[in-house]
Amino acid sequence: MASLQEPYPPFDVTAQRDDGVATVVVSGELDLATVPRLSATVAEHGDARLLVLDLKAVTFIDSTGVRVLIEADRSCAGSGSRLVVLAGDGPVRRVLDLCELDGRLAVVTDHPSPAAQRVAVTDTGPMTPPPPKLIPRAG
């Protein structure tokens, strides 16, 4: 008997580094089984002045996924860098809204512009990020 369910997309983490900007693209389910891979990638790029976590292709996120976002934000703040979460409007955004983390994390709809990246990378003083393009909360 053939299954009517589509297979889950495989979990994947890729990172791209351009000067002081690290973009980590995550796809698939972010849960207890996959969080260690994301944590390791975030730690590997912890020296970036700007760390962008692109979670638009994440199909599921549980509390361990939320925890790794909070830990990444705390780590970036402690090292003087900046974390931006690219959440899209799917499951990640819904969970962040439910957890009321959109005020704590810099959650954006689009990857920060190249100009914003250059400002963040070359700024030698305290990081003053450009205002993120926030997604309005669902009513």
What is the extent of the structural domain holding 31? Answer: 12-122
> What are 6-29's pLDDT values in tens digits?
667 799 999 999 989 999 999 999
> What are 76-101's pLDDT values in tens digits?
999 999 999 999 889 999 999 999 99
Q: Does residue 2 belong to any structural domain of this protein?
A: no
Q: Does residue 134 belong to any structural domain of this protein?
A: no
Are β-strands 50-61 and 12-18 bridged in parallel, bridged antiparallel, or unpaired? unpaired
- What is the pTM assigned to this prediction? 0.76
Q: Give how many domains the chain has, as a whole number.
A: 1
Question: In this structure, what CATH number is given to the domain that contains residue 86?
Answer: 3.30.750.24
| End-to-end Cα spacing for the chain | 42
Q: Does residue 30 belong to any structural domain of this protein?
A: yes
* DSSP output for 42-57: HHHTTT-SEEEEEEEE
Q: Which helix (H) or strand (E) holds 84?
A: strand 82-86
Instruction: Compute the residue count for the chain.
Output: 139
